[in-house]
Chains A and B, each alone.
Chain A
Amino acid sequence: MSNYDERLDAFVGRQLIEAKFGQDAVNQAMIRHWVEAMEDPNPAYLSDDAARATGRPGVVAPASMLQAWTMRGYAATQALARGESAPGASGFAELVGLLDEGGYTSVVATDSDFEFHREVVPGDRISVDEVVESISAEKTTGLGTGRFVTTVRTYRDAEGETVGVQTWRTLRFRPAAPEAPKALRPRPALNRDNAFWFEAAREKRLVVQRCADCSTLRHPPGPGCPECGSFDWDTVEASGAGTLYSYVVAHHPKHPAFDAPYLIALVELAEGTRLITNLTGVTAEDLEIGMPLALEWLEADDGLTLPVFAPTGPDTDHPRPTEN
């Protein structure tokens, strides 16, 4: 056990907040505010007659209000926020300081279990004290890594008789770092010979360079035609039909833009040229060289739209990724 764990452990059984009475005795006005806010129609909270009809001597406070009678109030909360310690809560301040030291700077309440020993009635003065029951080992949660701090709050009346016991659990946690934005795919290096292709892709058009003189198609594009020597060219738009010529299942090294293993394919277009692309809507086990494929578009990010391919045919009618 580390020294820090030992220091935390020393709090178990220790009183965090000394017994202290609430600022006001239990009273009808606060009960009224509560039941109106809660839209609780039980008349026993507001009418002595109604309460007597249930066998009680008179109005009772809603059980779930127990904690409310001892709350420190607005002014004291503001004082705490200013860093002034609340009287009688030095143990609490010390524990919070130790948790801060461990990086557990955030807090969220996770459980509140009550045992009610007797009903509270107007005129009761209620006190509460708080004792540490347990502090957990470090746990990883969706919110972040932290420790569950469980305390027992004992509510008593003016005579010191227990009216209720609350087991109160909070998670004191290190806020998880916000998820880093997903890495972008490597950018193409654009130049005078290739920019047209990526610009067309941005418009979701798969084009193939064509010699303006001998009409030979070529990919990857280049400034000159290897067949006739012409430097004049235009493009044709591909039909989007193709077949799988070869493929790679990429595992290592990992690149943050790609979720390994991922499928890289060499696709032969119906027009006859081939291109490197990715496959979607299919797993490696279902790949077969020669299988028919159809063009889809991947909007990889704001700056990059790429042609990808998916299987065609009756066996592959599962939903396609949407274009986003």
Chain B
Amino acid sequence: MRGPTRSLSRSAAIVGIGATEFSKASGRSELQLACEAVLAAIRDAGLTPADVDGMVTFTAETSSENHVARNVGIGDLTHFSRVHHGGGAACGTVAQAAAAIHAGLADVVVCWRAFNERSGERYGLGQADRPMDSNADRAAYSWMTPFGLSTPAQWVAMNARRYMHEYGATSEDFGRVAVTARRHAATNPKAWFHGRPITLEEHQASRWIAEPLHLLDCCQETDGGQAVVVVSAERAKDLPHKPAYVVGAAQGQAKDQHMMTSYYRPAISGLPEMGVVGNQLWAQSGLTPDDVQAAVLYDHFTPFVLPQLEELGFCGRGEARHFIADGHLDLGGRLPSNTHGGQLGEAYLHGMNGIAEGVRLVRGTSPNQPDDVTNVVVTAGTGVPTSGLVLGA
């Protein structure tokens, strides 16, 4: 593990956040959504596009940094990079931004993700009818799609079934994650499901998508964009908002990693790549789970919230269902989580909206702000090579 002298902890901070509205049909191009979000984040930071010298996004992003830059007036760039693996990239963008700042490669880095994922190409429809080429990423689907294992919900369902078998978890344990998220979304005016909480009974009654996953175990699909601005800690001091310091930033991939179907490891009930992330976050920050007051846990599907809590050390292996049933993800619980409503309730923005919520929690401006938040854990996509952040005051 890295020694403290090389740690990037607290060398950078997120100082601006900006998003488009979250909708089901944006009516404009993905590039425009990206530009709107990027500009909004830059303005929120009290900066101008000319201040930006670094840009980081997802490999899944369709709008390259050059297109975004020339459309928002960003000038010379000294750092640009991309992170792979869908939603697993989210916190990785900030990690790379912080690393670039820490290394002196850039001073002001904007990270973003924007898409028309609902009105355009819907990931939820699965891979079955996508054209096949034979590169390694595409060929990996050969072990799945001929058998009808094609969609993210199905991929997660396989792990979820095994998790239930090993730890005695039930569909209701997954459902409580959705109920909490929707309760938080209900009081977030920006959330798609604002004003629309659900009950556990409604979760249980919702139709099967891929057993053991009900419809309400699956996040929505969203059109929208979300960006954040990362600057050096020194620069952050002069900007208008309370900085959300990057106390820890890490990416993680674990042994025998597949894209969502890491079914061949000795056990498939955990998320060891999130363990890789968590170990780095604690080592970099010098913090422990006890030092964290809130979390934004990636929730494209409810079952993977449980092993995240275990991998990050908030509870023991197999104990997440009790942690959740005891109300610890709720306001007033041990670890208020997904206070914006999560991707289940606010929007599915590949985790980038979760980073923005992490910033709001540090600023004290969450729509469901818990008391006394100093440090927030934010995670990225689960089941894929992933990433995470600790943001702190």
Contacts and interface: CB of A to CB of B under 8 A. Distances in A.
Chain A partners chain B: yes
Interface of A: 185-191, 193-194, 198, 219-220, 226, 245-253, 255, 257-258, 261-262, 264, 266, 273-278, 284, 289, 300, 304, 306
Contacts of B162: 245-246, 266, 289
Given A189-B139, A264-B148, A278-B148, A248 B132 contact: no
Contact of A251 (B127, B146, B207): B207
Given A246-B159, A276-B263, 8 more contacts: A188-B143, A189-B134, A191-B139, A245-B162, A245-B263, A251-B208, A253-B151, A276-B261
B158 A264 contact: yes
Interface of B: 124-129, 132-136, 138-151, 153-154, 157-159, 161-162, 165, 207-211, 255-256, 258, 261, 263-264, 268
A242 to B, nearest CB: 14
Contacts of A274: 263-264
Nearest to A290: B165
A288 to B, nearest CB: 9
Contacts of A245: 162, 263, 268
26 contacts: A186-B129, A186-B132, A186-B141, A188-B142, A189-B141, A190-B134, A190-B142, A191-B134, A220-B258, A226-B256, A246-B165, A246-B263, A246-B268, A247-B158, A250-B148, A251-B211, A252-B210, A264-B148, A266-B162, A274-B264, A275-B143, A276-B143, A277-B147, A278-B147, A300-B146, A306-B147
B148 A266 contact: no
A188 B142 CA distance: 4
B147 A187 contact: no
B196 to A, nearest CB: 21
Given A219-B264, A249-B211, A276-B149, A198 B142 contact: yes
Contacts of A275: 143
A253 B146 contact: no
Given A189-B133, A245-B162, A278-B148, A220 B211 contact: no
A249 B127 CA distance: 17
Given A252-B209, A262-B148, A189 B142 contact: yes
B70 to A, nearest CB: 36
Tell me which of B127, B136, B148, B207 has the highest count of chain A C-beta atoms within 10 A of its own C-beta: B148
Given A250-B148, A266-B158, A194 B139 contact: yes
Nearest to B218: A252
Contacts of A246: 158-159, 161-162, 165, 263, 268
Nearest to A255: B128
Tell me which of A248, A262, A284 has the highest count of chain B C-beta atoms within 10 A of its own C-beta: A248
Nearest to B133: A189
A246 B132 CA distance: 27
A194 B146 CA distance: 14
A103 B154 CA distance: 43
Given A189-B141, A190-B134, A274-B263, A252 B161 contact: no
Nearest to B263: A266
Given A250-B154, A253-B124, A264-B154, A185 B146 contact: yes
Given A191-B134, A255-B148, A248 B154 contact: yes
B144 A252 contact: no
A289 B165 contact: yes
B150 A186 contact: yes
A220 B146 CA distance: 14
A194 B135 CA distance: 11
A220 B143 contact: yes
Contacts of A193: 136, 139
B133 A251 contact: no
A256 to B, nearest CB: 9
A252 B165 CA distance: 23
B25 to A, nearest CB: 19
A262 B159 CA distance: 17
B158 A249 contact: no
A297 to B, nearest CB: 13
Contacts of B126: 253, 255
A305 to B, nearest CB: 10
Nearest to A259: B148
Contacts of A253: 124-126, 151
Given A188-B146, A273-B264, A251 B210 contact: yes
A265 to B, nearest CB: 9
A273 B158 CA distance: 16
Nearest to A307: B147
Contacts of A186: 127-129, 132, 141, 145-146, 150
A126 B136 CA distance: 82
